[in-house]
Structure 1
């Protein structure tokens, strides 16, 4: 039985995989893109119903195609998925849906890789893992399954009607957690929100969205450091986009709690760090306003003053007198919603490309295992790597590297003529 061969194999047809296909095609590199479900599947079936992009349409896109409609709008998740499907058609991306990769291993005695799939074996010179880092929901092993309360990860949440009646505890106050908590509160639920350390940028300031400010202030190109890699960002494009304000959420009836630490005998324990976490988020927020004001002054820009943006509200009682222990039954909590991120899962990658924790060993997406590449990782090359436009640029870097390697491997020295001895 013949084995199919290709130069490059891309695993995953989300935004990272489609970006890789565009750059591979532009470089004349034959390739196949395998997707176990549908193009941009996670946007369709692993996010809540009301999710929108966290950046405006003019910014969160690939260079080769604009979103239809208002460029300032925050695009709903289904239209984001439709965008990538249309983009794949536009660039004639060779995507095969419904094909799952089960194992990638090196070929024996020759260069390249053997890729085992649900649809047969493919041999490839290069493999690009475009599955990203959001593969397996991460739920801390705190609450035993025997506790009579529903537990779900944010990737399983769809809408308030999905949950049993009663109060909800949301653990994690990054973009997902705070938006879901806000939606549940607006639906009439009693909501408790566990808030850890976070950055809290303004949604917009002086007539410009924060993505514009991060651009002109050169913050999108900031490189990762151990602190930044694990910083939670509280930002929202919901309701036309607004700045996340934990004090306003508390004023509407949400109960804020510190970082979740323990669970014992039906009760959660929380760190006494709520005020510190919120104040640190305020400092992050105000520092960006300071930098924006300085940029406006230095460049003589005609952008309107916005003094009200610096007004920080009164601390709610849950900040000044924090709750350190919360009994689930007494609080009427029937659902715990874990907005606690994801684990990566590269169990199918049987090459020496992972560290002891199973995470990719790479530099800007170029693996320590020659011929293997990664795409879609947070902070892969810069702060912007997690955004749609950022992964497009990361993909260009990865494919440029493949093109350079391809050139080296194609080199053959000229054969000098053999001279007969006199």
Structure 2
């Protein structure tokens, strides 16, 4: 007996911020669609982050255009559970056709007819189009240099929850982007002995001259940059919304007890070595920080804005001893380190999408989310169309563009030639 097949115009895979944004625009355009989510709406915000996480941007900025956070002031930083609730509430507003608890196992192009056949944990689906809205945080990366010692507790930041989760002893946090910095700070404040491995990073001010850095990136046109600078494709951003939001200052972290080291190089027989690049990485972060202050000052002068000067923003603490006399190797046992947190990012995982649109490294080939495989679209990836693409508001605008492209394709498919009109 042939299994029953559900048919739909467009299938959206994933019901996080990207999938919900996509569904809103498809609904507005009356395009029949279905959203499949293997867990719950915005589940990664609930269970894929540490307990104390808040959004890195203020509530007025990190949201969809059509709905505010009614219970958070515009300049507040929303807790992760509230962010997840926000997307669930948003989906209810337009009755988004979301089916939770359904995993997509494979997507293959049909033979002899248009569209795709999708195998799911709840049966087969046939769709003319597929939008991969699973985002960039699919597969936690722990680099191959990871320590082999079984006595150490090693966690990716995706699986870290709180300081109580870790055993007694010190912690090495590898990676100093937003996640690594915030986790290291939290562990230090909880009384842990913390070592933070700092690589290349950008370090924007949390706010400057009474405006959040999100606002500055907007008025300076930096959110709309179409491509990252050469050499900065993998540079992280050290910024925090924790404790009401503050500028990340590595020298202050050192002053408060965090041991700073350069990039982690090797592990061997209980010994970890570090690159001799700590000072250079922090100095380059300072340059990034100061360049934004310079750009903001110039914009204020150019536009005649009455925003009070903030000369103290340019004052730097003295270099701590960990910068002037960097640690290049460390015996983990002697240092009392019993845990390692790998804040080393994620990779995409599109093994379920069995179409010809990936490069040799498994990265999707696309232009603004429109893939080289007709009928396949990507949404929620960093730099999909601009710097802001992976942020909440940015993914909403990218979804609008993709929905418009789908409408164009539907108009071609709906065309009736002369032979059809004469029937």
Instruction: Specify the TM-score bucket, using the shorter chain as the normaliser.
Output: over 0.9
Tell me by how many angstroms 1:413 deviates: 2.5
Question: TM-score with structure 1 length normalisation?
Answer: 0.97
In structure 1, the residue matched to 2:116 is: 113
- Comparing 220-229 with 165-174, greater Cα deviation is found at 220-229
Residues 1:202 and 1:416: Cα distance change in structure 2 (over 3 Å) = closer
Aligned pairs for 1:122-133 within 5 A: 122-133=125-136
* 3-state SS of 1:230 partner: coil
Q: Please tell me whether the aligned partners of residues 4 and 124 of structure 2 are also in contact (alpha carbons under 8 angstroms).
A: no
2:305 is the alignment partner of 1:320: no
In structure 2, the residue matched to 1:398 is: 402
- Gaps of at least 5 residues in structure 1 are none
Tell me by how many angstroms 1:384 deviates: 0.5
In structure 1, the residue matched to 2:367 is: 363
2:110 is the alignment partner of 1:87: no
2:101 to 84, 95, 98: 98
In structure 2, the residue matched to 1:29 is: 31
Q: Please tell me whether the aligned partners of residues 251 and 320 of structure 2 are also in contact (alpha carbons under 8 angstroms).
A: yes
- In structure 2, C-alpha distance between the alignment counterparts of 1:190 and 1:360, rounded to whole Å: 41
In structure 1, the residue matched to 2:382 is: 378
* 3-state SS of 1:262 partner: strand
- In structure 1, C-alpha distance between the alignment counterparts of 2:384 and 2:270, rounded to whole Å: 40
Deviation digits for residues 93-115 of structure 1, max 9, x if unmatched? 10000000000001111110001
- In structure 1, C-alpha distance between the alignment counterparts of 2:151 and 2:162, rounded to whole Å: 21
Deviation digits for residues 194-235 of structure 1, max 9, x if unmatched? 000000000000000000000000000011234343120000
- In structure 2, C-alpha distance between the alignment counterparts of 1:116 and 1:316, rounded to whole Å: 57
In structure 2, the residue matched to 1:61 is: 63
Aligned pairs for 1:223-262 within 5 A: 223-225=226-228, 226-262=230-266
Residues 1:124 and 1:416: Cα distance change in structure 2 (over 3 Å) = closer
Q: Please tell me whether the aligned partners of residues 147 and 266 of structure 1 are also in contact (alpha carbons under 8 angstroms).
A: no
Q: How many residues are treated as equivalent by the alignment?
A: 418
* 3-state SS of 1:229 partner: coil
- In structure 1, C-alpha distance between the alignment counterparts of 2:150 and 2:5, rounded to whole Å: 51
- In structure 2, C-alpha distance between the alignment counterparts of 1:146 and 1:32, rounded to whole Å: 46
Q: Please tell me whether the aligned partners of residues 229 and 379 of structure 1 are also in contact (alpha carbons under 8 angstroms).
A: no
Residues 1:92 and 1:416: Cα distance change in structure 2 (over 3 Å) = closer
- Gaps of at least 5 residues in structure 2 are none
* 3-state SS of 2:418 partner: coil
Question: TM-score with structure 2 length normalisation?
Answer: 0.97
Tell me by how many angstroms 1:144 deviates: 4.4
- Comparing 353-362 with 140-149, greater Cα deviation is found at 140-149
